[in-house]
Amino acid sequence: MLHLYNSLTKQKEVFQPLKKGVVTMYNCGPTVYNFAHIGNLRSFLFTDLLRRHLEHSGYRVRQVMNITDVGHALTDEDTGEDKIEAAAKKEKLSPYQIARKYEKAFFEDIKKLKIRPAWKYPRATEHIKEMIKIIEKLFKNGYAYVGKDDSVYFDVTKCKNYGELSGNRLEDLIAGARVEENPAKKNPFDFVLWIVNPRHIMQWNSPWGRGYPGWHIECSAMSMKYLGNTLDIHTGGEDNKFPHHESEIAQSEGATGHKFAHFWLHTKHLLVEGEKMSKSKGNFYTLGDVLSKRDLGAKYSARAVRYLLLSAHYREELNFTFESLKSAENTLVRLDDFYSKLFETSFMEKTKGFFGFKKSNPGVRCLIQETREDFKRAMDDDLNVPKALAVIFSFVNRTNSVLENVAAGFSPRSEVGGVRKLLNEFDNVLGLGLRRIGKGGLPAGIKKLLEERERARKEKNWQKADEIRKQINKLGYLVEDTDTGQKIKKK
Ligand SMILES: [Zn+2]
């Protein structure tokens, strides 16, 4: 049974969708004014993992991820410079050109990372009407008001459960008064629904004047339009919790009178080389930045990035380092290697020939079944990927030795098929893209290293050639230099 940690109730709960067999899920998507950084990508990868696990468990998932293509301000939502506007000025493009450019880049990134496409990717600029409708309902229900600056605000004091998600109780917020008081608002923590500003770079008509919507309202409008008033799951990065998600709840429930989302799931921050990402430290990596780096001449693969970003539990801080990316790459080489072996007839014949008769080995069958259950149990436990990976590695190790030194009564062909099937199941959930390396072929990572070593040899860079040889060695291969060039064999 699937248990998920619900940020709203601050505990793990049994997950049951409202409608049998179908899960409605809304994910806060990218603001398209720049390339996504690996912290954003971690959060998108998490939604993919959740969706894959739900699908693997038999659910149909109706997944919606928004594209924020109308700017919101850099600091508070109603002060400071608009991100899309700032990018438009900097790149000398129109705001729509900026939005489309980075939307395209976002789709390219998620494709590289093997993120399954959501059912819908609605754009904020195409849902202004729906946002206005919700604001009108909020006026009708007594939550919205026009401020002294003519913009429309949400009165948080009218909302009984404001602060339930983030733990920011209104009294404390007011006492702390971290937000500089805006005299246009009734209360300092009221948030903006519609900004009246006829000079803004993106603007639309509204009953309150020309302007543009606040950030939070777009997610309420688009989630409810496609998924109904109440969602099963809403996700986002932990920095979205407040004020973004808190405000989404307040305005959605204020407009409909129904519970907005049953489960709230938040991904923790990402550190890079032990430090918080920031522009000034220059560690604000995009996927493109990471994939253009080289390790001993070989470029990193997108699937190693995927593996690394998924390998820590989503509620734990993940420290992204190039050292750990390298070991992610190595792990995948080993898994590919094992996976490929399961297709080798020589491997099967060897074990078959040794025993010569076809009787199923209950030990292997049990191991497959137990592992399948252990993996599911780990994933059902709030998507515990580290545990699920440990289950896989232990299975690979044990199977490897069983297959190499089979006990009597082993029928390799059927057992090997079972092992392969199980690995495909894991891959269906984790999306690691396990590859079958052709007969006599080498894993792509090893091939790259060999090519790079060849180059180093030609340049007489013996130190580098030696380093690469050591790395190849660590990955389970022996490389020898002969008169006709490098020779490689499995250890
Ligand atoms: Zn959102």
CB atoms within 10 A of CB 322: 14
| Mean pLDDT score of the chain | 88
CA of 244 to the centre of ligand 1 (A): 7
The predicted pLDDT at position 74 comes to 46
Mean pLDDT of 201-210: 94
User: Could you tell me the pLDDT band of residue 412, with boundaries at 50, 70 and 90?
Assistant: low
What confidence score (pLDDT) does residue 77 get?
Answer: 45
Residue 181 buriedness (CB in 10 A; 0-12 / 13-18 / 19+): exposed
- Do 66 and 121 form a contact (C-beta atoms < 8 A)? yes
C-alpha distance from residue 153 to each of 78, 162, 163, 463 (Å): 10, 15, 17, 65
Report the pLDDT value the prediction gives residue 76, as an integer from 0 to 100.
Answer: 46
User: How far apart, in whole angstroms, are the C-alpha atoms of residue 490 and residue 38?
Assistant: 35
Burial grade of 165 (CB within 10 A; 0-12, 13-18, 19 or more): buried
Average pLDDT, stretch 180-195? 86
Cα(29) to ligand 1 centroid in Å equals 7
CA of 219 to the centre of ligand 1 (A): 5
In the block, residue with structure tokens 């204020």:
254
> pLDDT by residue (tens digit) across 471-481?
888 887 888 88
CB 62 within 8 A of CB 19: no
How high is the pLDDT of residue 159? 92
User: What's the confidence (pLDDT) of residue 156?
Assistant: 94
Q: Comparing C-alpha atoms, which of 487, 38, 488 is closest to residue 300?
A: 38
User: How far is it, in rounded angstroms, from Cα 327 to Cα 311?
Assistant: 12
For residue 286, the CA-to-ligand 1 centroid distance in Å is: 21
C-alpha–C-alpha distance, residues 86 and 80, integer Å: 10
Q: Spell out where 292-442 has E strands.
A: 294-295, 298-299, 318-320
| DSSP summary character for residue 436 | P
Q: pLDDT class for 413, splitting at 50, 70, 90? A: low
Using pLDDT thresholds of 50, 70 and 90, give the confidence band for residue 357.
very low
295 has a pLDDT exceeding 90: no
Amino acid at 386: P
Residues contacting 282, CB < 8 A, separation 6+:
none
CA nearest to 266, candidates 252, 284, 253, 248: 248
Distance 332 CA to ligand 1 centre (A): 34
- From the list 338, 368, 346, 345, the residue with the least C-alpha distance to 434 is 338
Strand 11-14, strand 298-299: pairing: unpaired
Separation between Cα atoms, residue 109 and residue 105, nearest integer Å: 6
pLDDT of residue 306: 98
Q: Is 379 exposed, middle or buried (0-12, 13-18, 19+ CB in 10 A)?
A: buried
Q: Say how far apart CA 109 and CA 116 lie, in whole Å.
A: 12
Q: Which residue has the higher pLDDT, 310 or 337?
A: 310
Rounded to the nearest angstrom, the distance between the alpha carbon of 235 and the centre of ligand 1 is 8
Band (18; pLDDT cuts 50, 70, 90) = very high
Region 235-244: mean pLDDT is 94
| Range in 272-281, 307-316, 348-357 with the lowest mean pLDDT | 348-357
DSSP 117: P
Per-residue pLDDT, averaged over 161-187, amounts to: 78
pLDDT at 362: 65
Q: What's the CA-to-centroid distance between 287 and ligand 1, angstroms?
A: 22
Domain ranges for the chain? 18-267, 317-430, 444-490
Cα(230) to ligand 1 centroid in Å equals: 15
Max mean pLDDT among 108-122, 198-212, 424-438 falls in 108-122
pLDDT at 208 over 60: yes
3-state SS class at 145: strand
Rounded CA separation 239/189 (Å) = 17
- Provide the pairing of β-strand 22-27 with 60-65: parallel
pLDDT in tens, 324-339: 999 999 999 899 988 9
Each residue's pLDDT tens digit, 252-262:
999 999 999 99
State in Å: Cα 88 to ligand 1 middle. 22
Please list, in sequence order, all residues whose beta carbon lies within 8 angstroms of the beta carbon of residue 127, skipping any fewer than 6 positions away. Answer: 218, 221, 222, 225
Give 262-286 pLDDT, tens digit per residue: 999 999 989 999 998 887 787 889 9
* pTM listed for this prediction: 0.88
Ligand 1 midpoint to CA 372 (Å): 35
Contact call for residues 110 and 116 (beta carbons, < 8 A)? no
pLDDT at 353: 41
The string of pLDDT tens digits covering residues 210-233 is: 999 998 999 999 999 999 999 999
What's the pLDDT band for 73 if we cut at 50, 70, 90?
low
- Span from the CA of 96 to the centroid of ligand 1 (angstroms): 20
Q: Report the C-alpha gap between 3 and 1 in whole angstroms.
A: 6
Question: In this predicted structure, what is the pLDDT of residue 244?
Answer: 94
Q: Give the number of residues written for the chain.
A: 491
Q: Answer whether residue 110 shows pLDDT above 60.
A: yes
pLDDT in tens, 431-463: 999 988 765 567 777 887 888 888 888 898 999
CA of 245 from ligand 1 middle (Å) equals: 7
Give the pLDDT of residue 147: 96
Q: Rounded to the nearest whole angstrom, what is the distance from the C-alpha of residue 24 to the centroid of ligand 1?
A: 15
Distance from the alpha carbon of residue 429 to the mean position of ligand 1, in angstroms: 25
In CATH terms, the fold of domain 18-267 is: Rossmann fold (3.40.50)
pLDDT, mean of residues 41-48: 98
pLDDT number for residue 345 = 54
Q: Where does residue 387 fall: left (phi above 0), alpha (psi -120 to 50 degrees), or beta otherwise?
A: alpha
pLDDT value of position 246: 96
Instruction: Report whether 84 contacts 70 (CB < 8 A).
Output: yes
Q: Would you state the pLDDT for residue 364?
A: 77
**pLDDT for the residue 69:** 94
- Kindly give, in sequence order, each residue whose CB lies less than 8 Å from that of residue 48, ignoring residues fewer than 6 positions away: 110, 113, 114, 115, 116, 431
Q: For position 83, what pLDDT does the model report?
A: 85
- Residue 305 predicted with pLDDT over 90: yes
How far is ligand 1, taken at its centre, from the CA of residue 324, in Å? 31
- Rounded to the nearest angstrom, the distance between the alpha carbon of 268 and the centre of ligand 1 is 16
| DSSP secondary structure string for all residues of 34-63 | SPPBHHHHHHHHHHHHHHHHHHHTT-EEEE
- CA 131 / ligand 1 centre spacing (Å): 13
Lowest mean pLDDT among 71-85, 239-253, 360-374, 413-427: 71-85
